[in-house]
């Protein structure tokens, strides 16, 4: 009986440990882009002017940029409307038998559900934070890739220190994407 209880305890503990490691928390202090292009080192927050047909609100980008070090890494928050996203994907998907797939048949992974939520500031004391304000200034291109690439495909929340109000912090669900080869034109961004 003791062995069974111990086994159940170990299974539950390992499941909780795995669940904790599957969510990453990145904390940073963003700034607004000055001008049309990234000319200075910094962590920038940009918001698209328009939402795509599968989104509730326009996309948010957190760009880590250093022109001299050739770093341009991006965290992306698309704010999908799950019902619209399924319909959008269904229009572009055919089943194995060539038939058009209905939105109900489209599955959305947990990593694609990128919510924005408020938590008590004390929550930040209970999780491991990747503090890019401390790490980014000394990163090389290679170390930035090595540090951030393991986050690809994982559940990530960005905490922008600009969004901490009183005793509340805002968690923004994002995905890590390698930066686009070109900079978004200023006319697409909502400053």
Range(s) of the domain holding residue 157 = 23-79+114-188
4-47 residue pLDDT tens: 444 444 444 444 444 445 899 999 999 988 777 778 899 999 88
Q: In this structure, is residue 85 part of a structural domain?
A: no
Residue 7 phi/psi, 5-degree rounding, is: -60, -45
Q: In this structure, is residue 177 part of a structural domain?
A: yes
Beta strands per DSSP E along the chain: 23-28, 42-47, 60-66, 71-77, 116-120, 129-131, 155-160, 168-178
User: For residues 136, 137, 138 and 142, what is the CA-based torsion angle, rounded to 10 degrees?
Assistant: 50
Q: In this structure, is residue 176 part of a structural domain?
A: yes
Burial of 33 (0-12, 13-18, 19+ CB in 10 A): buried
Q: In this structure, is residue 123 part of a structural domain?
A: yes
Q: Whole-model pTM above 0.75? A: no
Number of domains the chain contains: 1
39-98 residue pLDDT tens: 889 999 988 877 777 777 888 999 999 888 888 899 989 877 777 777 777 766 666 666
């Amino acid at each position: 009986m003791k062995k069974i209880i111990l086994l159940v305890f170990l299974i539950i503990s390992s499941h909780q440990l795995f669940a904790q490691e599957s969510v990453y928390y990145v904390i940073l202090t963003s700034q607004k882009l000055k001008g049309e292009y990234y000319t200075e080192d910094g962590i920038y927050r940009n918001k698209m002017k328009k939402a795509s047909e599968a989104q509730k609100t326009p996309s948010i980008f957190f760009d880590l940029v250093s022109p001299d070090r050739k770093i341009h890494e991006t965290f992306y928050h698309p704010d999908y409307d799950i019902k619209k996203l399924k319909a959008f994907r269904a229009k572009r998907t055919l089943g194995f038998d060539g038939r058009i797939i209905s939105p109900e048949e489209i599955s959305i992974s947990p990593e694609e559900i990128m919510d924005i939520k408020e938590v008590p500031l004390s929550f930040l004391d209970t999780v491991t934070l990747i503090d890019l304000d401390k790490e980014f200034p000394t990163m090389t291109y290679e170390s930035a890739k090595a540090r951030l690439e393991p986050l690809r495909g994982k559940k990530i929340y960005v905490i922008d220190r600009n969004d901490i109000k009183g005793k509340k912090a805002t968690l923004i669900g994002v995905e890590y994407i390698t930066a686009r080869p070109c900079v978004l034109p200023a006319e697409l961004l909502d400053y």
